Protein backbone atom coordinates (compact mmCIF):
# COMPACT_ATOMS: atom_id res chain seq x y z
CA UNK A 1 0.00 0.00 0.00
CA UNK A 2 1.41 3.41 -0.98
CA UNK A 3 1.60 6.30 1.46
CA UNK A 4 -1.00 8.11 -0.66
CA UNK A 5 -3.37 5.15 -0.49
CA UNK A 6 -2.77 4.80 3.22
CA UNK A 7 -3.56 8.49 3.74
CA UNK A 8 -6.79 8.11 1.73
CA UNK A 9 -7.78 5.14 3.90
CA UNK A 10 -7.42 7.29 7.01
CA UNK A 11 -10.21 9.61 5.83
CA UNK A 12 -12.86 7.04 4.94
CA UNK A 13 -15.96 7.31 7.11
CA UNK A 14 -14.74 10.27 9.17
CA UNK A 15 -16.68 13.43 9.94
CA UNK A 16 -15.61 16.93 8.88
CA UNK A 17 -16.80 19.15 11.72
CA UNK A 18 -13.70 21.26 12.37
CA UNK A 19 -10.22 21.55 10.87
CA UNK A 20 -9.00 21.10 14.43
CA UNK A 21 -9.84 17.39 14.03
CA UNK A 22 -7.28 17.05 11.21
CA UNK A 23 -3.50 17.04 11.20
CA UNK A 24 -1.41 19.36 9.03
CA UNK A 25 -0.48 16.53 6.66
CA UNK A 26 -4.11 15.49 6.31
CA UNK A 27 -5.15 19.04 5.43
CA UNK A 28 -2.42 19.17 2.79
CA UNK A 29 -3.74 15.88 1.41
CA UNK A 30 -7.22 17.40 1.06
CA UNK A 31 -5.76 20.48 -0.62
CA UNK A 32 -3.69 18.36 -3.01
CA UNK A 33 -6.75 16.37 -4.06
CA UNK A 34 -8.77 19.58 -4.44
CA UNK A 35 -6.11 20.97 -6.79
CA UNK A 36 -6.11 17.70 -8.75
CA UNK A 37 -9.90 17.69 -9.08
CA UNK A 38 -9.86 21.33 -10.16
CA UNK A 39 -7.31 20.58 -12.85
CA UNK A 40 -9.35 17.61 -14.07
CA UNK A 41 -12.51 19.70 -14.25
CA UNK A 42 -10.75 22.47 -16.16
CA UNK A 43 -9.47 19.88 -18.64
CA UNK A 44 -12.85 18.14 -19.01
CA UNK A 45 -11.57 14.93 -17.40
CA UNK A 46 -14.43 13.06 -15.67
CA UNK A 47 -13.82 12.01 -12.05
CA UNK A 48 -16.86 9.99 -10.85
CA UNK A 49 -15.28 9.08 -7.52
CA UNK A 50 -18.66 8.90 -5.79
CA UNK A 51 -20.68 7.17 -8.50
CA UNK A 52 -23.91 5.83 -7.01
CA UNK A 53 -23.45 7.68 -3.71
CA UNK A 54 -26.05 9.99 -2.18
CA UNK A 55 -25.46 13.06 -0.01
CA UNK A 56 -28.27 14.44 2.14
CA UNK A 57 -27.98 18.21 2.63
CA UNK A 58 -29.79 19.70 5.64
CA UNK A 59 -30.29 23.46 5.47
CA UNK A 60 -31.56 25.21 8.58
CA UNK A 61 -29.90 28.40 7.25
CA UNK A 62 -30.33 29.79 3.75
CA UNK A 63 -27.38 29.59 1.40
CA UNK A 64 -26.02 30.48 -2.03
CA UNK A 65 -22.44 29.17 -2.27
CA UNK A 66 -22.83 26.22 0.11
CA UNK A 67 -25.88 24.78 -1.59
CA UNK A 68 -24.67 25.28 -5.16
CA UNK A 69 -21.11 24.09 -4.55
CA UNK A 70 -22.19 20.93 -2.73
CA UNK A 71 -24.92 20.10 -5.26
CA UNK A 72 -22.72 20.69 -8.29
CA UNK A 73 -19.74 19.04 -6.62
CA UNK A 74 -21.69 15.89 -5.81
CA UNK A 75 -23.02 15.78 -9.38
CA UNK A 76 -19.50 16.14 -10.82
CA UNK A 77 -18.32 13.29 -8.57
CA UNK A 78 -21.01 11.07 -10.06
CA UNK A 79 -23.29 11.07 -7.02
CA UNK A 80 -26.70 12.46 -6.16
CA UNK A 81 -27.28 15.46 -3.88
CA UNK A 82 -30.55 15.64 -1.95
CA UNK A 83 -31.55 19.12 -0.73
CA UNK A 84 -33.51 19.09 2.54
CA UNK A 85 -34.70 22.32 4.11
CA UNK A 86 -36.02 22.43 7.67
CA UNK A 87 -39.53 22.61 6.14
CA UNK A 88 -38.94 19.31 4.36
CA UNK A 89 -37.96 17.37 7.47
CA UNK A 90 -39.62 16.28 10.68
CA UNK A 91 -36.97 18.34 12.49
CA UNK A 92 -39.41 21.20 12.08
CA UNK A 93 -42.01 19.20 14.04
CA UNK A 94 -39.78 18.18 16.90
CA UNK A 95 -37.95 15.04 15.74
CA UNK A 96 -34.55 14.98 17.40
CA UNK A 97 -31.36 15.57 15.47
CA UNK A 98 -30.11 12.24 16.82
CA UNK A 99 -33.06 10.30 15.45
CA UNK A 100 -32.65 12.10 12.14
CA UNK A 101 -29.02 11.00 11.97
CA UNK A 102 -29.92 7.38 12.66
CA UNK A 103 -32.61 7.37 9.97
CA UNK A 104 -30.40 9.10 7.41
CA UNK A 105 -27.70 6.50 8.01
CA UNK A 106 -30.09 3.86 6.64
CA UNK A 107 -30.69 5.79 3.40
CA UNK A 108 -27.64 7.90 2.60
CA UNK A 109 -23.87 7.75 2.23
CA UNK A 110 -23.14 11.14 3.77
CA UNK A 111 -24.76 14.21 5.36
CA UNK A 112 -23.94 17.88 5.01
CA UNK A 113 -25.63 20.20 7.50
CA UNK A 114 -25.81 24.00 7.63
CA UNK A 115 -27.38 25.20 10.85
CA UNK A 116 -27.10 27.57 13.81
CA UNK A 117 -26.12 25.56 16.88
CA UNK A 118 -22.80 23.76 16.57
CA UNK A 119 -23.92 21.25 19.21
CA UNK A 120 -26.57 20.03 16.76
CA UNK A 121 -23.86 19.08 14.28
CA UNK A 122 -21.90 17.28 16.97
CA UNK A 123 -25.03 15.40 18.08
CA UNK A 124 -25.85 14.48 14.47
CA UNK A 125 -22.34 13.13 13.93
CA UNK A 126 -22.49 11.08 17.14
CA UNK A 127 -25.79 9.51 16.11
CA UNK A 128 -25.04 8.90 12.42
CA UNK A 129 -23.06 5.94 11.07
CA UNK A 130 -22.10 7.89 7.94
CA UNK A 131 -19.82 10.93 7.48
CA UNK A 132 -21.21 14.30 8.58
CA UNK A 133 -19.84 17.50 7.02
CA UNK A 134 -20.24 20.84 8.75
CA UNK A 135 -21.51 23.26 6.08
CA UNK A 136 -21.60 26.11 8.65
CA UNK A 137 -22.62 26.71 12.23
CA UNK A 138 -22.55 29.81 14.38
CA UNK A 139 -19.25 28.55 15.80
CA UNK A 140 -17.34 27.29 12.76
CA UNK A 141 -17.23 27.33 8.95
CA UNK A 142 -14.49 24.79 8.11
CA UNK A 143 -15.45 24.31 4.45
CA UNK A 144 -14.93 28.00 3.75
CA UNK A 145 -11.61 28.03 5.60
CA UNK A 146 -10.43 25.03 3.59
CA UNK A 147 -11.27 26.83 0.33
CA UNK A 148 -9.43 29.87 1.69
CA UNK A 149 -6.30 27.81 2.35
CA UNK A 150 -6.52 26.49 -1.20
CA UNK A 151 -6.79 30.02 -2.59
CA UNK A 152 -3.89 31.39 -0.52
CA UNK A 153 -1.71 28.46 -1.54
CA UNK A 154 -2.48 29.06 -5.22
CA UNK A 155 -1.63 32.76 -5.07
CA UNK A 156 1.21 32.75 -2.54
CA UNK A 157 2.81 29.42 -3.43
CA UNK A 158 2.50 28.08 0.10
CA UNK A 159 0.96 28.60 3.51
CA UNK A 160 3.67 28.46 6.18
CA UNK A 161 4.72 31.95 7.24
CA UNK A 162 1.94 33.73 5.35
CA UNK A 163 0.33 36.49 7.43
CA UNK A 164 -3.45 36.76 7.22
CA UNK A 165 -5.18 39.71 8.85
CA UNK A 166 -8.87 39.26 9.58
CA UNK A 167 -10.91 42.37 10.38
CA UNK A 168 -14.35 42.49 11.95
CA UNK A 169 -16.42 40.29 14.20
CA UNK A 170 -14.77 37.37 15.98
CA UNK A 171 -17.37 35.06 14.45
CA UNK A 172 -17.47 31.57 12.93
CA UNK A 173 -15.26 32.70 10.06
CA UNK A 174 -12.68 34.22 12.36
CA UNK A 175 -12.71 31.02 14.44
CA UNK A 176 -12.16 28.78 11.43
CA UNK A 177 -9.37 30.95 10.00
CA UNK A 178 -7.61 30.90 13.39
CA UNK A 179 -7.71 27.12 13.51
CA UNK A 180 -6.79 26.71 9.83
CA UNK A 181 -3.86 29.09 10.11
CA UNK A 182 -2.68 27.54 13.36
CA UNK A 183 -2.66 24.08 11.81
CA UNK A 184 -0.70 25.24 8.76
CA UNK A 185 1.95 27.42 10.38
CA UNK A 186 0.52 30.77 9.31
CA UNK A 187 0.49 34.10 11.14
CA UNK A 188 -3.13 35.02 11.93
CA UNK A 189 -3.77 38.53 13.22
CA UNK A 190 -7.34 39.49 14.10
CA UNK A 191 -8.54 43.07 14.41
CA UNK A 192 -11.80 43.09 16.37
CA UNK A 193 -13.64 45.74 18.41
CA UNK A 194 -13.52 45.29 22.15
CA UNK A 195 -16.19 42.81 23.17
CA UNK A 196 -16.28 41.20 19.72
CA UNK A 197 -13.10 39.12 19.95
CA UNK A 198 -13.12 35.38 19.14
CA UNK A 199 -14.26 32.93 21.80
CA UNK A 200 -11.81 31.84 24.50
CA UNK A 201 -12.48 28.19 23.64
CA UNK A 202 -11.47 28.57 20.00
CA UNK A 203 -8.56 30.85 20.83
CA UNK A 204 -7.17 28.22 23.17
CA UNK A 205 -7.51 25.48 20.55
CA UNK A 206 -5.81 27.64 17.94
CA UNK A 207 -2.91 28.52 20.22
CA UNK A 208 -2.45 24.87 21.15
CA UNK A 209 -2.24 23.94 17.46
CA UNK A 210 0.06 26.89 16.78
CA UNK A 211 2.66 25.52 19.22
CA UNK A 212 3.03 22.44 17.01
CA UNK A 213 3.21 24.24 13.66
CA UNK A 214 5.11 27.39 14.56
CA UNK A 215 2.11 29.57 13.76
CA UNK A 216 1.40 32.91 15.42
CA UNK A 217 -2.05 33.91 16.67
CA UNK A 218 -2.64 37.52 17.69
CA UNK A 219 -5.79 39.47 18.51
CA UNK A 220 -5.84 43.28 18.41
CA UNK A 221 -8.48 45.92 18.96
CA UNK A 222 -6.58 48.20 16.55
CA UNK A 223 -7.23 47.21 12.90
CA UNK A 224 -4.07 48.96 11.70
CA UNK A 225 -1.89 46.79 13.94
CA UNK A 226 -3.59 43.67 12.58
CA UNK A 227 -2.96 44.50 8.90
CA UNK A 228 0.66 45.59 9.32
CA UNK A 229 2.72 43.74 6.67
CA UNK A 230 -0.12 41.28 6.05
CA UNK A 231 -0.01 39.15 2.89
CA UNK A 232 -3.77 38.56 3.03
CA UNK A 233 -6.53 40.87 4.27
CA UNK A 234 -9.81 39.11 5.02
CA UNK A 235 -13.19 40.36 6.16
CA UNK A 236 -16.75 39.13 6.61
CA UNK A 237 -20.16 40.69 7.14
CA UNK A 238 -20.58 42.65 10.35
CA UNK A 239 -24.00 41.12 11.10
CA UNK A 240 -24.31 37.40 10.42
CA UNK A 241 -27.55 35.51 9.85
CA UNK A 242 -29.68 35.85 12.96
CA UNK A 243 -28.11 39.21 13.86
CA UNK A 244 -30.04 41.38 11.40
CA UNK A 245 -31.66 43.44 14.17
CA UNK A 246 -28.18 44.44 15.36
CA UNK A 247 -27.04 45.63 11.93
CA UNK A 248 -27.26 49.40 12.53
CA UNK A 249 -25.65 49.14 15.95
CA UNK A 250 -22.86 46.97 14.59
CA UNK A 251 -22.27 49.33 11.67
CA UNK A 252 -21.38 52.06 14.14
CA UNK A 253 -19.20 49.77 16.28
CA UNK A 254 -17.32 48.30 13.30
CA UNK A 255 -16.98 51.40 11.09
CA UNK A 256 -13.24 51.76 11.76
CA UNK A 257 -12.66 48.14 10.71
CA UNK A 258 -13.78 48.61 7.12
CA UNK A 259 -11.33 47.19 4.58
CA UNK A 260 -10.70 50.22 2.36
CA UNK A 261 -7.81 51.65 0.35
CA UNK A 262 -6.43 53.53 3.37
CA UNK A 263 -6.30 50.43 5.55
CA UNK A 264 -4.85 48.29 2.77
CA UNK A 265 -1.84 50.61 2.49
CA UNK A 266 -0.58 49.27 5.82
CA UNK A 267 -0.32 45.71 4.47
CA UNK A 268 2.37 44.15 2.29
CA UNK A 269 2.57 45.56 -1.23
CA UNK A 270 1.36 42.31 -2.76
CA UNK A 271 -1.44 41.79 -0.23
CA UNK A 272 -4.55 40.10 -1.58
CA UNK A 273 -8.11 40.79 -0.48
CA UNK A 274 -10.47 38.02 0.60
CA UNK A 275 -14.12 37.94 1.64
CA UNK A 276 -16.24 34.81 2.14
CA UNK A 277 -19.33 36.56 0.69
CA UNK A 278 -22.03 37.80 0.64
CA UNK A 279 -20.41 41.25 0.75
CA UNK A 280 -21.95 44.59 1.66
CA UNK A 281 -20.01 47.24 -0.25
CA UNK A 282 -19.64 50.40 1.79
CA UNK A 283 -19.92 48.49 5.06
CA UNK A 284 -17.24 45.92 5.90
CA UNK A 285 -15.42 46.55 2.61
CA UNK A 286 -15.31 49.40 0.10
CA UNK A 287 -16.37 48.81 -3.47
CA UNK A 288 -13.04 49.88 -4.97
CA UNK A 289 -11.18 47.29 -2.87
CA UNK A 290 -13.44 44.27 -3.37
CA UNK A 291 -13.70 44.99 -7.09
CA UNK A 292 -10.05 46.02 -7.42
CA UNK A 293 -6.99 44.17 -8.75
CA UNK A 294 -5.94 42.79 -5.34
CA UNK A 295 -9.28 41.05 -4.78
CA UNK A 296 -9.53 37.27 -5.18
CA UNK A 297 -13.01 36.88 -3.67
CA UNK A 298 -14.64 35.19 -6.66
CA UNK A 299 -11.71 32.84 -7.17
CA UNK A 300 -12.06 32.10 -3.46
CA UNK A 301 -15.77 31.38 -3.92
CA UNK A 302 -15.02 29.02 -6.82
CA UNK A 303 -12.61 27.04 -4.67
CA UNK A 304 -15.47 26.10 -2.35
CA UNK A 305 -16.50 23.67 -5.11
CA UNK A 306 -13.09 22.03 -5.46
CA UNK A 307 -12.22 21.87 -1.76
CA UNK A 308 -15.59 20.37 -0.81
CA UNK A 309 -15.36 17.82 -3.62
CA UNK A 310 -12.08 16.66 -2.13
CA UNK A 311 -13.64 16.35 1.32
CA UNK A 312 -16.64 14.40 0.02
CA UNK A 313 -14.48 12.11 -2.11
CA UNK A 314 -12.17 11.29 0.77
CA UNK A 315 -14.85 10.74 3.41
CA UNK A 316 -17.47 8.96 1.30
CA UNK A 317 -15.52 6.76 -1.11
CA UNK A 318 -15.47 2.97 -0.74
Contact 164, 185 (CB under 8 A): no
H or E, element range at 30:
helix 24-42
Q: What are phi and psi of 140, to 5 degrees?
A: -140, 155
Q: How far is CA 276 from the centre of its chain?
A: 8
Residue 119 to residues 6, 22, 83, 124, 301: CA-CA distances in angstroms? Answer: 31, 19, 21, 8, 27
CA–CA separation, 194 vs 186, rounded Å? 24
CA distance 143 to 160: 20
Cα 19–chain centre separation: 9
| Distance (Å, whole) CA 230 – CA 272 | 9
- Distance from C-alpha of 40 to C-alpha of 111, rounded to nearest angstrom: 25
Residues 10 and 1: beta-carbon distance below 8 Å:
no
Could you list the active site residues? 114, 141, 144, 236, 276, 304
Continuous H helices in 157-296? 172-184, 200-213, 223-227, 247-254, 261-264, 287-290
Q: Which secondary structure element, helix H or strand E, spans residue 216, and what is its range?
A: strand 216-220
Amino acid sequence: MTDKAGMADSFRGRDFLSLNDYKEGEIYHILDLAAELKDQLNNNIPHPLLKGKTLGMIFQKSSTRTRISFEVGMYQLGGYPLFLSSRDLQLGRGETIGDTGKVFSRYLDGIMIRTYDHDEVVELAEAADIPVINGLTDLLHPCQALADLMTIREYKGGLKGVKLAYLGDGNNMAHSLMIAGAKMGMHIALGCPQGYEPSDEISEKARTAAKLSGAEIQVYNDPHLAVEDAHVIYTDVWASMGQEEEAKERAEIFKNYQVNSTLVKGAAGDAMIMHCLPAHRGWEISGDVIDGPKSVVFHQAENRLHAQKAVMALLMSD
